[in-house]
A and B are shown apart, each in its own frame.
Chain A
Amino acid sequence: MLKISNLHATVGETEILKGLSLELNPGEIHAIMGPNGAGKSTLAYALGGRPGYEVTKGSASFDGTDLLDIDPHERAAAGLFLGFQYPVEIPGVSNLQFLRESLNSQRKERGEKELSGAEFIRLAKEKAALLKMDMDMLKRAVNVGFSGGEKKRNEMVQMGILDPKLAILDETDSGLDIDALRIVGSGINAIMRKPDKAVLLITHYQRLLDEVKPDFVHVLADGRIVKTGGPELALQLENEGYEAIAEAA
């Protein structure tokens, strides 16, 4: 589904990703762990097409499409979803309006029929309920005045509504309280654990991986994947830390 080969990316003048390769097949959940500053968010942004994150070498193909060759909104329409480590506030634009326009913009791009207001509201209610989010929050401006945890939960409501094929979730667990973590974890499972979908979970903590069980765990250090294993690798990291494992690799 996603095939990243020898990806190099720079931010400003600095090379952050230094030859990263990774492959995700349909039905798989992968976790990426790694020290602060290793380049995890940079990987997410480079795949999402954020301006300023320049891919200088390598490739990334998504269901056969050259991801790096299309615009960010086209990547979304192709089925890519980015859960932000720091979701952005958009004053004056309501969540519902934003999501309805986004979904319809995607559908138009794919040549599908746009959703009516009533159809959209039904969908939004269903996904908000799945994440136990109050509909009133969806009427408010996007992320404005939301607490850190509410922002993360809102990311998952958005994911539910947009129903992507591939989700890259950047520290969606950080900032969530214990109950919220469970709700978000089961939300991710409900929305994304399907034979034709895949997830790349970026996280620092085992707690999320207890909820959303990964098939593979990768360690990203200094711009590369330095080690890959099964779920047990996350436990080993939690016990031993990155340094020992990155050195041994």
Chain B
Amino acid sequence: MTLAQTLPTKADEAWRYADLKAVESVWQAVDMPESVVVAAGQSEQKTLILETGEAQIRQLHIVLEEGARVDVACLAAAPGYGRVEIDIDVASGAHFEMGGAIVGADDQTLEIVTRVNHHAPDATSNQVVRSVLAGKATGSFLGKIDIARDAQRIDAEQSVKSMLLNRGATANAKPELEIYADDVKCAHGATVGELDKQALFYMASRGLDPVTAKRLMLHAFVADAFVDVDGETSAVEEQALAALEALL
């Protein structure tokens, strides 16, 4: 996924679940990809939040130098179409950590698209994505991991879980692994589920009203994607929880 220059079509693998009408409407206005270089041994945090604007595309190109680390937290909850793209090169000894949440209802189309380029050995990456979808929303995660022939001893993980609150909602999870090295660990898992009805009844039997019960379960589900900062819920997690309120 080099960030597309010409208007994408359905034939472009990385855009297969996109709302192309919405993409076309904003294509001219999309900002240039934001470039971030994390120097050797340094670490950085990046936050990407899409929660306003009818259609939004945000692209981030990160280069991790040797032993560098980046923690990306992102939320896709734009009212119409929202897409977060992260393209990252990981040098040896570096670590890429990504936590993402997709929260959508109505006709929203939301996606997080990543490409992790492990071009050097002894590096790690970990991506956790949680989607909660209601109405007729579509939430997609496309995660490509390329591991070059010389990039031995890579540990690259992806955990993608989606929760559908209505029958009309759709979740897509597409891991794509291209591995040319032989000594690598690549764990990836994707699940799609609904709210646990047994748990909902258990909670109701204790007196929890249905909205509070749902809120507790969805908060716990989405919280997997985020880590607390200094013992406090991070700003992006707060925003994700606020977006969930509309779905209760």
Contacts and interface: CB of A to CB of B under 8 A. Distances in A.
Contact of A101 (B196, B197, B216, B220): B216
A190 interface: no
Contacts of A92: 217, 219-221, 223-224
Contacts of A71: 204, 210
B146 to A, nearest CB: 33
Contacts of B210: 71, 73
Contacts of A73: 204-205, 207-210, 213
B199 A90 contact: yes
Interface stretch (A3-11, A76-84, A132-140, A235-243): A76-84
A90 B228 CA distance: 21
Counting chain B residues whose Cβ lies within 8 A of the other chain, the interface size class is 20 to 34
A230 interface: no
A227 interface: no
A92 B199 CA distance: 12
Contact of B206 (A51, A76, A91): A76
A93 interface: yes
A76 B217 contact: no
Contact of B204 (A76, A84, A98, A101): A76
A106 B207 CA distance: 5
A248 B27 CA distance: 82
B216 A51 contact: no
Contacts of B202: 84, 87-88, 90
Contacts of A76: 204-207
A197 B209 CA distance: 24
Contact of A99 (B198, B204, B206, B221): B206
A31 to B, nearest CB: 21
Given A93-B217, A93-B220, A105-B212, A51 B201 contact: yes
A39 interface: no
